[in-house]
Amino acid sequence: MPLRNRKSYYILILFLLGSAYTYAQQFVKVGGRASDIAINPKTGKVFVVAGKNIFTDYDSNAKRWKTFSTRPNNAKSVSVTKDGVVYITSTAGEVFIEVKGKWIKVPGVKTDEVIAAKDGRIYAIDTNKKLRLLNNAKWNLLSGQNRISNGLNQVIGIGPKELYARAGDNSYSKFSGGKWNTLNGKPNKIALDHKTGIIYAVGRNKGIYKWVFSSNEWVLLEGTRKDFKDVAVHKGIVWAITVNNTIYYCDTSKKAKDYTGTYEVCFLQLGAPKKGNKYYGGMGVYLNATIKSGKVPISPLNGKKNRAWDISKEGPQVANKSGFSWIDSFESGSRRKTTASSLEIEGIRKFKLVGEAAKGYPEFDFQFNVKRYDGNLPGMRGVGQWERQKIKMDDLILGKVYYRYLISCDAVISFRVDKL
């Protein structure tokens, strides 16, 4: 290859690699919380379990879900067949089918999940980790499919002679030719995209993976979060639930968000339950981003340290100002409370995101080592211990005042992040 053409070739390759990263899949947060998720293979409609009831028809403008059918008030999991029939399991492990606005019990098995196979068959794994097939209103115990030493945790069905599963020890396995064969990996959850036939998984690191049949390996989705516990997929669009029940979907048609800019983190106040309480210790903030080579730290501007508040126990600060009203920003269902007093923190740190790091799913890591001074304790020790709060940039609301309750020292910290 001539030198000029060779140079152009390498430039093209670098451009394509850069573009592949720029167009990395983007996980977008939606409204609501859920404990289980499923997708109608025919229509792509998403169903979730929330508060032991079933919801669907997500409205992206209102950020709300609509109740599906009547409320069972005991739903644990949801499954949808290729014909759009909805099954649930209850918190007691019983199976129900939705028929014209009513939930009809399908007796004969106790299970955590109904398995709606691609070919229309309905399966369930019983409490003995044995696979059963629903046929003529009976849950029949299968023979060859249960010839696996440690039982089954989860199964997805392609056809009667082709199944994929998490075995009893979570080993990823395939049933074909009348026997089970162990493949690579031990995923936490697996899911089938009925339209494309591709299998996805939540890995042990809680990231989303895609199974590559040609090489028999799991490939991590670029840009995936690593806090997922469940996944469902339709036509390559990934829906997933995090360990704290927030819901995301992966829109493959969008670019990764670009967070280029300068950000200012302000620690505002410390709220105390009693006027005159004294506090010392430290608190700070770190910013990390994920680029091709791995996770990289972003240092505060102007040579500042990450620690923004640093008070010695010899000179503790006194909470003698007016209290404030607050709701814990990180505790679901928290009620509004009021502190008896407060002290000003006035700790500020600035960070600049540019280039690859700005598209690298940045995350703030707030760390607190605040202690309540108590001169009556031996050695003048303080009450409190190290605590932290991570916030992904995708989840952050700029300009919002966040409140983090520090249970170890019974204090509340308020802080805010702004883009300059």
Residue 379 burial by Cβ neighbours in a 10 Å radius (0-12, 13-18, 19+) = exposed
- Which residues are paired to 38 by β-bridges? 47
Contacts of 131 (CB under 8 A, 6+ apart): 123, 124, 125, 141, 142, 145, 146, 152, 155
Across the chain, what does the average pLDDT equal? 89
Q: Which domains does the chain carry? A: 24-251 (2.120.10.30), 261-419 (2.60.40)
The C-alpha angle with vertex 44 and arms to 359 and 395, in degrees rounded to 5, equals: 30
Order of all β-strands in the sheet with 86-90: 75-80, 86-90, 95-99, 102-105
The residue written with tokens 């008030």 in the block is 73
pLDDT one-digit tens code per residue, 334-375: 788 999 999 999 899 999 999 989 988 899 999 999 999 876
The string of pLDDT tens digits covering residues 252-285 is: 555 668 899 999 999 999 999 999 999 999 999 9
pTM of the model: 0.63
pLDDT of 383: 83
The pLDDT value recorded for residue 250 is: 86
Q: What is the dihedral of CA 248, 393, 365, 221, to 10 degrees?
A: 50
pLDDT tens digits for 193-236?
999 999 999 999 999 999 998 888 999 987 788 999 999 999 99
Q: Above pLDDT 90, what percent of the chain? A: 76
Q: What is the pLDDT of residue 21?
A: 36
Q: What is the C-alpha separation between 5 and 279, in angstroms, rounded?
A: 67
The number of beta carbons lying within 10 Å of the beta carbon of residue 383 is: 15
Region 146-164: what's the mean pLDDT?
92
CA pair distance 360, 292, nearest whole angstrom: 9
| pLDDT tens digits along 393-419 | 988 999 999 999 999 999 999 999 999
| CA distances in angstroms from 190 to 106, 168, 171, 207, listed in the order given | 25, 14, 11, 12
